[in-house]
Amino acid sequence: MSSVLLVEDEEALRLFLGDSLRSEGYSVETASDGAEGLEKALRLSPDLIVLDIMLPGKDGFEICQALRRRGKPTPILMLTARNQIQDTVTGLKIGADDYVTKPFDMSELMARIGALLRRASAAGGHSAPAMVYEFGSIRVDLRGTEVTKNGKPVDLSAREFQLLRFLIEHRGETLSRDTLLREVWGYGAKIYTRTVDVRIANLRQQLEDDPKEPRYILTVQGLGYKFRAEGGHS
Contacting residues toward Ca ion, per CB under 5 A: 9, 52, 54
Backbone angles phi, psi at 223, to 5 degrees: -120, -40
| Of residues 78 and 156, the one with the C-beta less far from Ca ion | 78
d(CA 98, CA 137): 28
Residue 4 beta carbon to Ca ion: minimum distance, rounded to whole angstroms: 17
Residue 231 beta carbon to Ca ion: minimum distance, rounded to whole angstroms: 42
Residue 21 beta carbon to Ca ion: minimum distance, rounded to whole angstroms: 17
Residue 106 beta carbon to Ca ion: minimum distance, rounded to whole angstroms: 18
Overall residue count recorded for the chain in this entry: 234
| Of residues 9 and 208, the one with the C-beta less far from Ca ion | 9
CA distances from 164 to 92, 145, 233 (A): 14, 10, 15
| Of residues 34 and 186, the one with the C-beta less far from Ca ion | 34
Angle ∠(147,152,153) on CA atoms, nearest 5: 40
| Of residues 51 and 140, the one with the C-beta less far from Ca ion | 51
| Of residues 8 and 29, the one with the C-beta less far from Ca ion | 8
Query: Minimal CA–CA distance to 147: which of 77, 217, 160?
Result: 160
d(CA 205, CA 164): 13
Residue 13 beta carbon to Ca ion: minimum distance, rounded to whole angstroms: 8
Backbone angles phi, psi at 104, to 5 degrees: -115, 165
Task: Quote the DSSP letter at residue 189.
Answer: -
